[in-house]
Structure 1
Amino acid sequence: MTQVASAPTAETVVDAGAAEYPPLGPDSLTWQVWGTWTGMLQGLWAGSMQNMHPKLGQAVWDHSDFFGERWERLMRSLYPIGGVVYDAVATDGAAGTGHQVRDYHLTIKGTMPDGSRYHALDPDVFYWAHATFWYGNVRLCERFGPWLTEAQKRRLFEESKAWYAQYGVSMRPVPDTYEDFLGYWDHMCRNVLRDHESVRTVLDIGALPPPPFMSFMPAGIWRRFIAPPTARFFVWLTTGFYDEPIREMMNLPWSAADERRFRLLGKAVNLVMHRLTPKRYRRHPRSRDAWDRIDGRVPRDAPLVETPARNLPSEAQRDNPIHYCPVHAARRATIPGRVSEH
């Protein structure tokens, strides 16, 4: 792993090689399959897989208020994460979302338990987070549809390079081919990733309050009747997405019966989301907004859809540069076809 001695600046992390990759557009497979509400079912998988990287997990443990505002951070983070894929083309090049996301990490650094240093923009650390996003896309399609061919998986890998290039960071850790990536992923799962307090805390959602969009629910009813079965279901769901070496490391059993139930669930999700739900309504607001711009429903220079104010951090934390905290943009009520945001 690269040892980072001091905090990089926005100037020092920019990689000239990233300029070789133009942003993805509506003709890409990534635009077609990324950014749907189905991805919420994989939220614990992505968060826990990221935190299994020793340096990333330590950074989250030391710096993030993720554990104090779990729902809010997840809900608001979906907007810039999706925006790295969509914003540049959807706004005719006006957005710099990838660089904004990169710069949230400029000040995140510290010391590992063994005395070595970590920084969130260590190329190996930053690429691992991206790997969970793009490859999570493949895993989600493998399990819940839309089903992908091997050629489509290779195409998504090649497109993931252009996606990653939008951050303007070192391209050094990026594998050359899809087969190389699979080798990288297996190596990480077997030899690098570790169980960590931040991983277990991500998986432990039973003590969380209701999410902000369910704030009307009495806390007692949530804790007694809703939270326990929800927590059990999502741990089971996340275990189904894990590779076998991760299940073994985390001591999470997975039987043949579990696999059968998981496959049935996948078929049901695919039926509901990809056959019965209209394409526009299965998309997250940031993804839907991008397609609305491409289709002419929304002007290209309209304000980007941002997270609802209920998902913002506390007033005391809103100037902290490690938080994604946009000014909540008022939506233009006069724009035809506009859908309310979540």
Structure 2
Amino acid sequence: MQQLVVTRDMFESQLELAISKVKDPRIGLFGPDSMMWKLSRHALFGAHGSGRALLLQIAHPWVTRGVDEHSKTRSDPLGRAKRTFTTVLSIVYGDLEQATKYARAVHNVHNRIQGTMDSSAGAFGEGTPYMANEANALLWVHATLWDTTVMMYELFRRPLSAEEKDRFYNETKLFAYMFGIPDAILPPDWESFKEYNRSIWDSDQLVVTDSTRELAAFLFAPLHFTLTPAMAWLKITTAATLPTRLREEFNLPYGRKERLIFASGRKILSVAEPITPGLIRNGPAYVEASRRIRGLPSTIMTRALTRAMFGRPELVALKQPTKP
């Protein structure tokens, strides 16, 4: 596959395209009537897809190599996760100013992430160059997020219609533009997007090496012993939802025991989610954004949860006037 570098000019052009489609900068890229907010606000469900999305991403040899050479994931996994989620949530729920600020910051960071492959892996030979700001690599990471979002929603809540999926997919193109991904390589509709995902799953673009498996084991290791049951459940959910080839290459067990646990947990979660407090069910960023567009500040509880999760009291809340 021929490399397509997202230059600064290409990035700014796609960013302007996204900006041109925003009706109200105060609301941001999407808003309360969007499919993006409708699906993303089920944060409790979405969190269950984090393992799947991450493993699909690191199965691309460039991602694993980039993590090993340029990321603090191994030395500061919690900090890395906080930064990633802060960026995604700020683009999805923030106003236009905040979304574009984070998009530019990511592009600048990606410009520094490049190097050469230290060994052959699938389609990528030893010594070949890799770079984070390459359009096809960016598209793959982008695809893992939104394919997984739909899968989690349908697994735990309800099936989506073809029209809903097409609406959602068209909205995800705005997110793609924020990273400079050009229309020329974006699948035109949901069915084409699904076919794109399937084709990558079955191709030599993805391969699980010893380094990839080592990174996966690190990502599933509990940061504290009290998190052991949660990480075990996430591992089972990931095994249940990964493509079969990749699940087997990652050596994730998914036998009779795991299938029974997943089926039972899925039913319990589907019943429990609607009665879970909204702040937990929807996530603090959605609550902040919903209040912001009504001209309301964040709440004490939301600020407390946001600080606990992200190390700061607010993500996308209403900006308070600066005192003279």
1:55 pairs with 2:62: yes
SS at the partner of 1:15? helix
Q: Which amino acid aligns with 1:267?
A: K
Aligned to 1:25: 31
Classify 1:43/1:83 alpha carbon distance in 2 versus 1 (closer, same or farther; 3 Å). same
Q: 1:53 to 1:330 in 2, by over 3 A?
A: closer
TM-score (norm 1): 0.74
Higher RCO, 1 or 2 (CA under 8 Å, sep at least 6)? 1
User: Per the alignment, in what secondary structure is the counterpart of residue 96 of structure 1?
Assistant: helix
The answer on 1:14 being equivalent to 2:12 is yes
1:250 is the counterpart of 2:245: no
SS of residue paired to 1:172: helix
**Offset of 1:85 from its aligned partner?**
1.3
Listed as ranges, the matches of 1:325-336 within 5 Å are: 328=312
1:151 deviates by 2.7
**1:73 corresponding residue in structure 2:** 80
Matching residue's letter, 1:181: F
Deviations for 1:41-87, whole angstroms, at most 9, x for unmatched residues? 22222211111112122111211110111122213321211111121
Aligned residue pair count? 297
Q: Does 1:174 align with 2:181?
A: no
**TM-score scaled by length of structure 2:** 0.78
Residue 133 (structure 1) aligned with residue 145 (structure 2): yes
Quote the offset at 1:306 in angstroms. 11
Partner of 2:166: 154
Q: Is this contact kept in 1: 2:86–2:310, CA < 8 A?
A: no
Q: Shift of the alpha carbon at 1:21?
A: 4.2
Pair 1:121–1:290, CA change in 2 (3 A): same
Structure 1: which amino acid aligns with 2:103? G
Name the one with the larger helix percent: 2
Q: Identity percentage over the alignment?
A: 24
Distance between the aligned counterparts of 1:266 and 1:68, measured in 2?
33
What do you get for the CA RMSD once the two structures are aligned?
A: 3.4
1:296 equivalent in alignment to 2:310: no
Equivalent position of 1:111 in the other structure: 116
Secondary structure, in 3 states, of the residue corresponding to 1:30? helix
Counterpart of 1:339 in structure 2 is none
Q: Is the 8 A contact 1:206 1:230 kept in 2?
A: no
Distance change in 2, residues 1:149/1:199 (3 Å):
farther
Residue identity matched to 1:149: S
Find the residue that maps to 1:118 and give its secondary structure.
strand
Q: Which residue of structure 2 aligns with residue 214 of structure 1? A: none
- 1:117 and 1:158, CA in 2 relative to 1: closer, same or farther beyond 3 A? same
